[in-house]
Structure 1
């Protein structure tokens, strides 16, 4: 039987102190997510809070990032409007990746077998050239292989090999990308 009163943050490290966390939440919810904030300023804000971000990265408005210091993004990657990077653990996104509108990358979960519902978190890795389509969800511990596609609205709970398409209806191989 589950007893949520016994839940603790035991073993979970947010990576920064409460003052930095509070400052990030203030910046994220006032400037970072705003439609009028230029994409280059969003990138600069993430870098200022410890994110590792490559060149030519485009981050649209309404994007949420839980902890910037647990985020790494390669070159020429796009993060679409309303995407949510719920990175209790590290999220690593390669180069030339597209994370589309309202996609969710969620590194956190709970152990449904434990009475205290403790965290069961794990990092997410999205390899070069991958595409996480609109409203797709990638769950904790998953690696999305190079040039793989998580289709719109799909939920991915296991690793996705290179050049593979995963949709709500199943998984199949893709052709080589065209230059």
Structure 2
């Protein structure tokens, strides 16, 4: 029996072989079954829980492979594609209804806030490929960042420490530190003030 390559388990299938563009799978059967188990577990064990039970939800995320730091608060209505592709450092807040679409890896730094209904997306497709191959592109949010309500952070983006994406902004490029971005596509708006006691 062939030994399973653990790294390959999380990678998308070759679209030419899986025919994913015409309804075939994008990931292995094992990957898909794991995600069914994950979604069912979150629905049964966490989705209904009141806001104060952050420690329980963090425990559940860790049980499915997420790396969760101290004092992280993940709301029950958050939609996380795969915990094993997620790292939250210390004091992270993921607000109600946020979408963590982490087919690729997503890392969120210390003291960072992802507000309600924000969307982090770590995958895209090769638009030049007739089979529309799925491509994983990690997202990295630095320390003390803020992704405001209903904003979108696109594939492969790195937000530098202290940067902000304003509400309903759509970010497709890396940010400069301590800078506020707004609009679609998001552009620098102004510098963020660093008051005493900040990082």
TM class by shorter-chain length?
0.7 to 0.9
Contact 1:35 1:61 in 2 (8 A): yes
- CA 1:66 to 1:164, structure 2 compared with 1: closer, same or farther past 3 Å? same
Q: 1:104 corresponds to which residue?
A: 119
Task: Mark the structure with the bigger radius of gyration.
Answer: 2
Q: 1:163 corresponds to which residue?
A: 178
Q: 2:43 corresponds to which residue?
A: 29
Q: How does 1:9-158 map to 2 (within 5 A)?
A: 9=26, 17-36=31-50, 38-158=53-173
> Which of 166, 172, 177 pairs up with 2:189?
172
Contact 1:6 1:116 in 2 (8 A): no
For the residue of structure 1 that corresponds to 2:136, the secondary structure is: coil
Unaligned runs of 5+ in 1: none
TM-score by length of 2: 0.80
CA positional deviation for 1:75: 0.5
- Once residues 37 and 66 of structure 2 are traced to their aligned partners in structure 1, the CA distance between those partners, rounded to angstroms, is 15
> Which of 22, 25, 28 pairs up with 1:5?
22
CA positional deviation for 1:65: 0.7
For the residue of structure 2 that corresponds to 1:85, the secondary structure is: strand
CA positional deviation for 1:35: 4.2
Contact 1:7 1:116 in 2 (8 A): no
Contact 2:182 2:188 in 1 (8 A): yes
Contact 1:63 1:84 in 2 (8 A): yes
Contact 2:180 2:192 in 1 (8 A): no
Higher RCO (C-alpha under 8 Å, 6+ residues apart): 1
Q: 2:14 corresponds to which residue?
A: none
Unaligned runs of 5+ in 2: 1-18
For the residue of structure 2 that corresponds to 1:41, the secondary structure is: helix
- Once residues 13 and 138 of structure 1 are traced to their aligned partners in structure 2, the CA distance between those partners, rounded to angstroms, is 26
- Aligned positions, number: 174
